Amino acid sequence: MLAYVIRRVFQSLIVLLVVGLVAFSMFRFVGDPVDNMLGQERTQADIERLRTQLGLDQPFPVQYWKFLMNAAQGNFGVSYRQGRPVSDIIAERAPATLELAAVSGLFAIGLGIALGIFTAIRRRGIAANLIMTLSLIGVSLPTFLIGILLIYVFSVELDLLPSFGRGDTVDLGWWTTGFLTQSGLVALILPSITLGLYQMTLIMRLVRSEMLEVLRQDYIRFARARGLKERAVNFRHALKNTLVPVITVTGLQLGSIIAFAIITETVFQWPGVGLLFINAIQFVDIPVMAAYLMLISVMFVAINLIVDLLYFAIDPRLRIDGRHA
C-alpha cells in the first residue's frame, strides 16, 4: 500500500515537472523578454544589465529551478497585456469560475442521480424512454451550441434570464460572490445548466446501468421477499451499492467541469479564469497562459491522485494485485 502511494506521488511529481518545463520553455523561446521590456532606444550595455538582472545569463537548469520556485510560491510574473501580476488577476477571477463550477457540479450530481434512479426503476415507462433518448441527443450536441440554444430560448424569445455576465456581486474580503444577490443567482442558471448538462447525462446513464445491475442481484430479491417496501429496497439497499463507481467517476469529472468552463464562460461572457485563458491565447499573453497551464495541471494531477487512492481505499480487491505494473 505504502509503496503504491509513494510510486503514485512520485509519478505525479514527474508529470508536474514536465508541465513546468513546457510552461518555462514558452517563456524562454517565445519572443525575447529583454526585447519586450526595453524600448527602441537601448544600448548593448542596457541589454547586458537587464539580462544579468533577470538572471537570463545563468544556465538553463538554474533558470528552470528559479522558475519552479517562483511558481510554487504563486509568482507567475506580470501579464504582458494587462501589466499586472498574473497571480492577482487569477485570484480576482477565480471566485467566478469556482462558483459556476460548484453550482453546475451540484446540478449534475443531484439531477443525474435522481434521473438515473427514475429511469432504472421505471425502465419501461414512456417518461424514462423519453429521457434516455433526449440524453443521447444532449451528449452529441457541442457545449457551445447548447449554450446558444438556451440563450435563444430563455433570453431572446422568453426574456426571462440574463444571457451574459454575473449580475451584481458582493465583496467578501478577497472573495466576490454572486450567491447573495437576486441578479447574481439568476445569472447563474443558464451557465450552470450549459456546463453541467454533459456531466449530468453521464452520471444519469451510469447510475441507471449500475442500478439495473444491482436490482438483478439476489439480495434485492431477498429484500423484496422479506416484504420490505419498494422504497426501502430501491433507496436503502440498491442505491447504496451503486454509489462507489459514481463517486469515482464524479471525482474525475470535476476536472472536466473546470476545463469545459472555458467554453461556457466564453458563450456567457462569464468573467472567470476560463475567459481569461481564452483571451490570453488570442493575444499570446505568455505569463497568463503559463500560469493557467500550471494551475490546471496541479488540479488535474491532484484529482487523479486522490481518485486513484480512493479506489484503493474503497475496493479491497485492488490491494492484492496492486494495479499498474
Partner 1 sequence: MTGIPDTELPSDRPDVLPPSRLRRAWDSDFAFKFRRSPVAVVSAAVVAFLVLAALFAPLIAPYDPFNPASLNLMNGFTAPMEPNAFTGDVFWMGTDDQGRDVFSTILYGMRISLFVGFAAVMLAMLIGVTVGLLAGYVGGWTETLIMRVADVQLTFPAILVAMLIFGVAKGFTPVEYRDQMAIWVLILAIGLSDWVQFARVVRGATLVEKNKEYVQAARLIGRKGPAIMLRHILPNVLSPVLVIATISLALAIIAEATLSFLGVGAPPTQPSLGTLIRIGQGFLFSGEWWILLFPAATLLALALSVNLLGDWLRDALNPRLK
Chain residues that interact with partner 1, rule: CB under 8 A: 11, 15, 22, 26, 29-31, 140-145, 148, 151-152, 156, 163, 255-256, 259-260, 262-263, 266-267, 277-278, 280-282, 284, 286, 289, 293, 296-297, 300-301, 304, 325
At how many degrees (to 10) do helices 86-121 and 182-215 cross? 40
Q: In angstroms, give the least distance from the CB of 144 to partner 1.
A: 5
Residue at 10: amino acid letter:
F
CA–CA separation, 257 vs 104, rounded Å? Answer: 8
Nearer to partner 1, 58 or 256 (CB): 256
Cα separations (Å) of 168 from 265, 270, 273? 17, 12, 18
Q: In angstroms, give the least distance from the CB of 295 to partner 1.
A: 12
**DSSP, residue by residue, 71-106:** HHTT---B-TTT-SBHHHHHHHHHHHHHHHHHHHHH
Q: In angstroms, give the least distance from the CB of 145 to partner 1.
A: 6
Nearer to partner 1, 169 or 196 (CB): 196
Nearer to partner 1, 67 or 277 (CB): 277
Nearer to partner 1, 172 or 284 (CB): 284
CA–CA separation, 86 vs 292, rounded Å? Answer: 9
Q: In angstroms, give the least distance from the CB of 239 to partner 1.
A: 29
CA–CA separation, 262 vs 269, rounded Å? Answer: 10
Paired with 85 in beta bridges are 78
- Specify burial of residue 6 (Cβ count, 10 A radius: 0-12, 13-18, 19+): exposed
Cell of 221: 430479491
Cell of 248: 469515482
Place of cell 444577490: 181
Nearer to partner 1, 113 or 150 (CB): 150
CB within 8 Å of 75: residues ≥ 6 apart: 85, 87
Residue at 283: amino acid letter:
F
DSSP element (H, E) containing 206: helix 182-215
Nearer to partner 1, 26 or 38 (CB): 26
Q: In angstroms, give the least distance from the CB of 302 to partner 1.
A: 11
Q: In angstroms, give the least distance from the CB of 26 to partner 1.
A: 6
- Specify burial of residue 238 (Cβ count, 10 A radius: 0-12, 13-18, 19+): buried
Q: In angstroms, give the least distance from the CB of 194 to partner 1.
A: 13
Q: In angstroms, give the least distance from the CB of 29 to partner 1.
A: 7
Q: In angstroms, give the least distance from the CB of 47 to partner 1.
A: 21
Q: How many CB atoms lie within 10 A of CB 46?
A: 13
Residue at 276: amino acid letter:
L
Nearer to partner 1, 2 or 325 (CB): 325
